[in-house]
Amino acid sequence: MSALAKSKSHHFYDEDDQDVLIQFDENSFVPVTPYQEDFEDQVNEAQEQLLQLRQKQEMLERQKLELEELQRRKEEFTHGRAEVTEQLSQSIAHLEREAARAQQLAEECLDSKESFEQHLRIVEMLRPEHWSRADLRDELTRALACIEDAEQDIAQAGHLLEVRKAAPKGVRVTEKKSTASAAASREQGFLHWFKCGLAFTLPLMIFVGVALLLLSIFGAGN
């Protein structure tokens, strides 16, 4: 069938009532339908968008975790700084007081040491054997006054002499251990030499005992 035969004729009338004949071919029209490629492109585009959204979500979650970690560390720093600041301030004040007391104690110890050295020199210079009978009363009075002055200074410095008793337990324990170790060492040394002496003299003692026994036997026989 020719193209002319496949064509259809349609009659239209214009305003002047004139018959207008229009012919067209049905095969010249292509139906408008979506292609398969368009669907695949849309699916791929949607998957790509989902992937981008998922990556963005993961990035946001990482940022959230980092911010939470930073916030936690910031709070830890703030709390730690406040606590350490308070501890350092209290420790500094305590050490300042202790340093002042230690300095005062050191000064008192030096003063007492100088005073004691002076008393010791005076006391050592007291020689009763050099006193004459005529000056004995005056010398004794002066000597007793020197002794009394020394005793007064010793009594006044008693709190300084008690410092050693107030030493930390660790120091006292160390001193006790050292004393015990020294005593044990001396005891072990005595036992060692006692055993050595016994080992040397025991054979001699046995020999002497046997000799005395023989002498007594033979002497009785005679």
Q: So what's the pLDDT on residue 134? A: 87
Q: So what's the pLDDT on residue 171? A: 44
Tell how far CA 205 is from the center of its chain.
Answer: 65
Q: Is residue 48 part of a domain?
A: yes
**Phi/psi-derived region of residue 29, left when phi > 0, alpha when psi is between -120 and 50, beta in every other case:** beta
Q: Is residue 67 part of a domain?
A: yes
Q: Is residue 185 part of a domain?
A: no
Q: Is residue 147 part of a domain?
A: yes
Q: Is residue 121 part of a domain?
A: yes
Q: Is residue 161 part of a domain?
A: yes
Q: Is residue 21 part of a domain?
A: no
Domain that holds residue 132: 37-167
The dihedral built from the CA positions of residue 189, 190, 192 and 193, taken in this order, carries a sign that is positive
Give CA–CA dist 115/127, Å, rounded: 21
Averages of pLDDT over each 10 residues, the chain, 222 residues: 46 52 55 61 87 93 94 94 94 94 91 92 89 87 90 88 59 51 53 57 61 59 48
Q: Is residue 2 part of a domain?
A: no
Give CA–CA dist 156/145, Å, rounded: 16
Q: How many independent structural domains does the chain possess?
A: 1
User: Is the pTM here over 0.95, yes or no?
Assistant: no
